[in-house]
Amino acid sequence: MSKQRIIRSIIAIIVLLAAAAYIAYQDAPKDRQRATPRPTATPAAGFDYYLASLSWSPTWCESNPDDREQCGRRGYGFILHGLWPQYDSGNGPQDCRSNEEPDQQTIARTLAFMPSRSLIDHEWRTHGSCSGLAPGAYFDLADRAFAALRIPPPLTATARPPAMTAEDVRSAFVDANPGLQATMLGVSCHGNSLAEVRICLDVDLQPRQCGRGVGMRCPRKAVLRIPLIR
């Protein structure tokens, strides 16, 4: 066999192998041709601390009786409204770009302290997406933050709240939580009714001084209306 014929034979074999490889590639399942990258949340740009917002559920349920998931059962006192990234200068990042959302296992765990699927969804989209964490990690952090805060005995689910002013509520939280100072939290009201207690935490979930805009948002010196747990 001449040298030219050998070369032509080699070229023909190469062409046949290339054609076979191309056909195999076209027939391969799409998920094997190109792996889909795992979506990740876009990190927030340098927030300074977290604000743990504890909501007095009976006040919410008075105004939102149609929220059957949170308000259709008995026993909720304080729940976790949210864990919000904040700036020292006031407010914080919101609605950051993210392709992720909480999976069903994360939602099931979170319902223990944030008992509303619509609230969980809202808190992830509005605040969690700006934490720089994936949904599971963000809600695990929220769980740790809520679990670390001690609810004062007069405001637990088994107690009948006494007459208290906003300052009394703040002092009760300070007394119940070592390391917490009056300048590290605020109390908010809906009219004259206790609505929320907001506690400032560093990124390690330790109490810290609050930034601008966190403070007392209740009638001064007035005895608050604290709806009973249903």
Angle between helices 135-148 and 117-126 (to 10 degrees): 110
The domain in which residue 119 lies consists of 49-201
pTM of the model: 0.79
Residue 210: inside a domain, yes or no? no
- Assess contact for 49 and 199: CB atoms under 8 A: no
- By residue count, the chain amounts to 230
Question: What domain count does the chain have?
Answer: 2
Q: What tens digit of pLDDT does each residue of 140-172 get?
A: 999 999 999 999 999 987 778 899 999 999 999
Q: How far is CA 143 from CA 140, 197, 211, in A?
A: 5, 16, 23
The per-residue pLDDT for range 31-48, each reduced to its tens digit, is 322 333 333 334 444 899
Residue 71 is part of a domain; what is its CATH number? 3.90.730.10
How far apart CA 86 and CA 75 sit, in angstroms, is 30
What is the phi/psi pair of residue 198, to 5°?
-115, 120
Q: What is the chain's mean pLDDT, rounded? A: 85
Tokens of residue 64, six digits: 């939102």
Q: Please, which residues bridge with residue 51 across strands? A: 84, 200
Residue 127 annotated as catalytic: yes
Considering the domain architecture, whether residues 93 and 193 belong to the same structural domain is answered as yes
Q: Is residue 9 part of a domain?
A: yes
Per the annotation, the verdict on 190 as an active-site residue is no
Question: From the candidates 101, 123, 167, 190, which is the catalytic residue?
Answer: 123
Whether residue 60 sits in one domain with residue 11: no
- For residue 81, indicate whether it is catalytic: yes
